Amino acid sequence: MTTAVVRGALEQPYEYSRRELVEPDWRRFPGWADVTEEQWRDPQWQRAHCVKNARQLHALAGGLLSEAFYDDLAEDQAKFATMSMLLPPQMLNTMAPSVTSGFTEAFLADPIRRYMLPVASDRDPVWPSHPHSSRDSLHEAEMWVVEGLTHRYPTKVLAELVSTCPQYCGHCTRMDLVGTSTPQVDKQRLLLKPVDRQDAMLDYLQRTPGVRDVVVSGGDVANVPWRQLEAFLMRLLAISSVRDIRLASKALAGLPQHWLQPAVVEGMAKVAQAAARRGVNLAVHTHVNHVQSVTPLVAEATRAMLDAGVRDVRNQGVLMRGVNATAEDLLDLCFALQGEAGILPYYFYMCDMIPAAEHWRVSVAEAQDLQHAIMGYLPGYATPRIVCDVPYVGKRWVDQAVAYDRERGISSWTKNYRTLLDTESPDQDQHFPYYDPISSLPEAGRRWWAARR
Ligand code: SF4
């Protein structure tokens, strides 16, 4: 007698089921009750109707949000906010997308709201900032070779063309430079005229053929007038040592209407053709942190970029508590990006050690657990790496720490190349620290930090 082996579907820690993308109905907000689809798709309308302050949010949401919420928001802006408020309707509409009652509670708990519209009650009540947090925590400006051009890795540079974005994220790592000043943060300014800065960047790249990879960023390149951006990219493509160009734009998700404009799509097609002729890999990198942001318009804008000839559209999200720091949230997002929107899940960065970010940050141990938990579900090439951007080192996979004191939350990392700040060869024994949020530590670790306050 043979025993029949029944091989059914096993129960898994994460169950995949395909979900259609949905554009939330913006008419649920009283202030947008009469907004037409034509207006919604118009990037000019979107930019003109961004919510920039509590008064405008009040006018939009009416009685949907309680007065206590506005007080919480005002307190945050006065005491903590490192970024000013700037929310395109597209982005705001992905918050509490399908709630009909109990809107304030749902809005408060919403993952997009948590990082795009922080309130004081979100912040860590004991350690809102880590003692080692700092503005420009990655020391990018220290590694500028010309204004806005960070040369941090041997073969790669970051070109900051602009210091503004169509949307401002509460956790922005470039909070030192990007956006308008807040009561807490008087921002640095780019001093050169855009044209002079671009000339200086291109001149450096011409003189430095060891650099083959240019991340064109900001801010957000969606805020560079298209003709100016196209001209810069064409000049970049004329430098024979440049082999990879990546355009950084969160607006692909926050304001997809921008990337759907005919002039932008046609311009991108010209740039992509030139890149293909020269054998240069041209890609768009975006920044999506939660599945709610992946709507049909985002997929449409991505398709427009791919059809224009961009080789790839990739996502670099940020790992944040209360936003996406569970395996389920990460996998839901990655499946929507990869399976429905044509965006490759690429990286999740641990949130950097900027001021007032402790409530968002997770420990290295939690990040390691999350990396483990998301393995094996997505195709290998679409399984994102969770990385820690270690000050003075650069990106490291979370499992690359060479030592880790879990009680005090201090991990150590090494590097294998020199940055502009290193005058001598890298010392393999030199360790660079990264710090877990203190509230994530065991009692003994929290006491250790408290004694040093
Ligand atoms: S889009 Fe990027 S650069 Fe702009 S505020 Fe957000 S994180 Fe910062």
> What pLDDT does 10 receive?
87
> What pLDDT does 101 receive?
84
What string of DSSP letters covers 121-182? GGS-SS-SS-TT--TTTT-TGGGEEETTEE--SSSEEEEE--S--SS--TT-TTTTTSS---
Segments in the chain below pLDDT 50: 1
- Ligand 1 mutation pick, 86, 190, 247, 287, max ligand atoms within 8 A of CB: 287
> What pLDDT does 203 receive?
98
Contact 156, 147 (CB under 8 A): no
Longest Cα–Cα distance of the chain, Å, equals 84
pLDDT tens, residue by residue, 240-278: 999 999 999 999 999 999 999 999 999 999 999 999 999
CB atoms within 10 A of CB 260: 18
Q: What DSSP element (H or E) covers 207?
A: helix 194-207
Measure 17 CA to ligand 1 centroid, in angstroms: 31
Measure 424 CA to ligand 1 centroid, in angstroms: 33
CB atoms within 10 A of CB 400: 14
Angle, CA 447 vertex, CA 441 and CA 448 arms, to 5°: 90
Task: Write down all domains in the chain, each with its CATH number in brackets.
Answer: 26-122 (no CATH), 141-450 (3.20.20.70)
- The DSSP bridge pattern shows strands 156-160 and 344-350 to be unpaired
What string of DSSP letters covers 221-284? GGGS-HHHHHHHHHHHHTSTT--EEEEE-THHHH-HHHHT-HHHHHHHHHHHHHHHHTT-EEEE
> What pLDDT does 429 receive?
77
> What pLDDT does 405 receive?
98
Measure 164 CA to ligand 1 centroid, in angstroms: 8
> What pLDDT does 75 receive?
98
> What pLDDT does 7 receive?
64
Closest residue by CA, ligand 1 atom 3:
219
Measure 13 CA to ligand 1 centroid, in angstroms: 33
The gap from C-alpha 303 to its chain's centroid, in whole angstroms, comes to: 20
Residues with CB under 6 A from ligand 1: 165, 168-169, 172, 174, 178, 218-220, 250, 287
> What pLDDT does 419 receive?
80
